[in-house]
Amino acid sequence: MTGVESPAYVPGHGLLSGRTAVVTAAAGAGIGGATARRFLEEGARVLISDAHARRLKEYEAELAGEFGADAVGAVPCDVTDEGQVRTLFDTAVREHGRLDIVVNNAGLGGTAELVDMTDEQWARVLDVTLNGTFRCTRAALRLFHASPDGGVIVNNASVVGWRAQAGQAHYAAAKAGVMALTRCAAIEAAAYGVRVNAVSPSLAMHPHLVKVTSPELLGELTAREAFGRYAEPWEVANVIVFLASGYSSYMTGEIVSVSSQHA
């Protein structure tokens, strides 16, 4: 059985016009980079961040060439460093006067059987993927609580937060934690007009994933998808746009699966 071809790219419809957004881990061809581009296509001003300063600068230049220097900015940020997180959010407010949307995309994976996993491997994945989301969510909420307009947070989780996969105990635990953090933060923030939701992708292909995943595993994961193909990163970004826009105004604390995996 052959896979279904990827659909045509969906043009922007101005869903985020006048909004200002921060997108973490947005340097490159993955979900974060696709989300930054989709937000710009929907009319938002976007501040991208990433721990890889060189790639971040290159992607900022690429986006600025397409959408204009006023529409996009960049701040290097390692989400495991509280000082850098504060600088990122302070910069967003200082340069744009407001912040409306935060996309917590930063995460770190890896493959290791639990019996062989080191404390360092476990701690590093948890610190980037779960603790980093916590730090950025906390920074966003402190700003949104003080804003009469509230705000929106969209976190990037994963289907492995629900489903077992060998070699992924650290990543699965971190993503399950992101889901629980999303639900709890949503309840706490609702009184301030803030919505917090998450996407849960299964398999979105990008160059970095190819580098760190064996062809055999990628083939196995692709075979689990009903469409017989992986998702394009922009297909996940489309759902993030929906959750960031007014079309999802009554949704909070939800984890939206972006997957065609068989049950």
230 assigned to active site: no
Instruction: Round to whole Å and give the CA distance between 85 and 88.
Output: 5
Catalytic residue among 9, 59, 171, 247: 171
Strands (E), the chain: 20-23, 45-50, 72-76, 101-104, 151-156, 194-201, 255-258
> Distance of alpha carbon 240 from its chain centroid, rounded?
8
On whether the CB atoms of residues 96 and 20 are closer than 8 A, the answer is: yes
Per the rule left: phi > 0, alpha: psi between -120 and 50, beta: everything else, 68 is left
Contacts (Cβ under 8 Å, ≥6 apart) of 139:
85, 86, 88, 89
Instruction: Round to whole Å and give the CA distance between 129 and 180.
Output: 13
51: which 2 tokens? 């721990």
SS3 at position 9: coil
Cα→Cα distances 236→40, 79, 191, Å: 15, 22, 28
Residues designated catalytic: 171
